[in-house]
Structure 1
């Protein structure tokens, strides 16, 4: 239980930092479903497209697209985005949130 709680708090802090770097209020990262909308906006897409997360099979493809676009906006390449923002988001968002990456909308 403590490990799960610790991992959740760590991920919440990293997402908070990513949202702040992108110019959004960090508290939005803690609100379920709302964080999807703003993560899609950070990727440079319309917030309405977050509804695609609700469609089975489409959500996996859309999550990859969002991860790659989000990584590009933080100056990261496609491999980093695929492996560390889509497959291992705990690590990818930790690197973006607390690293030297800066947000620039491409």
Structure 2
């Protein structure tokens, strides 16, 4: 102990205090996220306790948005899980009547937007609501890349009356 002094042990104490405070902060965020997902699941008519179980909560989210269970495999594959995770989050927000901007919030600031979704006034609209919202004004014919969605094509006109 002749080569040590007081300042070396003080640094270790500061580091331990910092790690302890960080652990408490992460624990508070985790409890907030679980409580928020619990409320979101209950709003959708699913069991709230499913928010605690890691893979089962993803299965419940897929049920909420009406997607098949094969998506679990896509969510487990590297690279595709990023695309399908963003897609699933977008469908969750649309199932509650929210927009793409809210989806960005759910992804980037999840500790703020999940409580807004869970404890806020948002109502669950069903899995079909996620697919029914097409762009601005919810006009189903506003996709210019889909030739089958144009109401003004000649095939949609009634036959002439003779």
TM-score (norm 2): 0.61
CA distance in 2, matches of 1:7, 1:56: 26
What is the match of residue 73 of structure 1?
95
- Choose between structure 1 and 2 for higher RCO, CA contacts under 8 A separated by at least 6 residues: 1
Q: Identify the match of residue 50 of structure 2 among 23, 28, 53.
A: 28
SS of 1:47's partner is coil
> How far is the alpha carbon of 1:68 from its aligned partner?
1.1
TM-score (norm 1): 0.92
What is the match of residue 31 of structure 2?
9
Q: Any gaps of 5 or more consecutive residues in structure 2?
A: 1-22, 130-162
CA distance in 2, matches of 1:47, 1:27: 20
> How far is the alpha carbon of 1:85 from its aligned partner?
1.8
Q: Contact 1:15–1:29 at 8 Å: present in 2 too?
A: yes
SS of 1:64's partner is helix
Change (3 A) 1:87 1:44: farther
CA distance in 1, matches of 2:107, 2:66: 16
Structure 1 residue 49 and structure 2 residue 57: aligned?
A: no
CA distance in 2, matches of 1:66, 1:21: 17
- Aligned residue pairs: how many? 105
Change (3 A) 1:91 1:43: farther
What is the match of residue 122 of structure 2?
101
Which stretch shifts more, 25-34 or 46-55? 46-55
The structure whose residues are more often helix, as a share, is 1
> How far is the alpha carbon of 1:33 from its aligned partner?
0.7
* Structure number with bigger Rg: 2
What is the match of residue 105 of structure 2?
84
4+ residue stretches of structure 1 with deviation over 4 A?
none
> How far is the alpha carbon of 1:96 from its aligned partner?
0.6
